[in-house]
Amino acid sequence: MNRDILIFANGDPNDGAMVRRAFESAHHPIIAAADGGARVARAFGVTPDVVIGDMDSIDPAELAALEQGGAQVFRYPHEKSETDLELVLLWAAQNKPARVRIFGAVGDRLDQTMANVYLLALPALHGIDARIAAGRQETWLAMPGTTTINGAAGDTISLLPLSGSVRGVTTQNLYYPLKDEDLLFGPARGVSNVLNGEHASVSVREGVLLMVHTIGRA
């Protein structure tokens, strides 16, 4: 069975119920850090098996200790086209994981946070269950087809069009139903829907939805 990969970016740890759920459900995971994400991994009491990046935000002594402990280290030049997190995600995709969960990807820089969300659309991740977990929230992309939501009645679900207008959205078991409808780029119609039970589904005919699942009432 393929292993899960838990990736730690160099943002705020944002510990919380959804983060803990991701840890508890991980199958014999590989721990990967994007450069200074090793600090975030340490905050959760785990040690990276892999560190990838230009190494401009990790303490050299910590990096040396990780190498001596057997961690794989992949160094890249500071001037590069990809972010450190992007490099880790590309590495993860090559290893055909069962799932990918990303922590420390939400911080006080809006541009970096948005860029981290956009990375979920990397072609290399197509067909891989890759999600960002922070606090009580989990974020992933719904491509054309059907995605399943697992949670509890009363959880908050937001559907945000990421690729311009998203066509033919149909929901099952959400409080505010959509039946082959369009969510347009701009209006906030898809925000703050509610799970009616433990499971729901969202189908998309065309476009990409950003899914945000918050445990409980947001």
How do residues 38-57 score in pLDDT, each as one tens digit? 999 999 999 999 999 999 99
Please give the order of strands across the beta sheet that includes 99-103: 72-75, 50-53, 30-34, 5-8, 99-103, 129-134, 137-142, 209-214, 156-161, 193-194
Gap between the Cα atoms of 52 and 86, Å rounded: 10
CB 138 within 8 A of CB 131: yes
pLDDT recorded at residue 1? 66
Instruction: State yes or no: pLDDT of 183 exceeds 70.
Output: yes
Residue 43, classed as helix, strand or coil, is helix
Give Cα separations from 148 to 12, 135, 142, 176 (angstroms): 28, 21, 9, 16
The type of residue at 155 is D
Instruction: State yes or no: pLDDT of 152 exceeds 70.
Output: yes
Residue 167, classed as helix, strand or coil, is strand
Domains of the chain listed by start with CATH number: 5-135 (3.40.50.10240), 142-214 (2.60.120.320)
Instruction: State yes or no: pLDDT of 143 exceeds 70.
Output: yes
pLDDT recorded at residue 11? 92
Give Cα separations from 168 to 180, 181, 210 (angstroms): 4, 5, 15
- Structure pTM? 0.95
pLDDT recorded at residue 157? 98
pLDDT recorded at residue 218? 85
Q: Looking at the chain, how many residues does it have?
A: 218
Gap between the Cα atoms of 193 and 190, Å rounded: 7
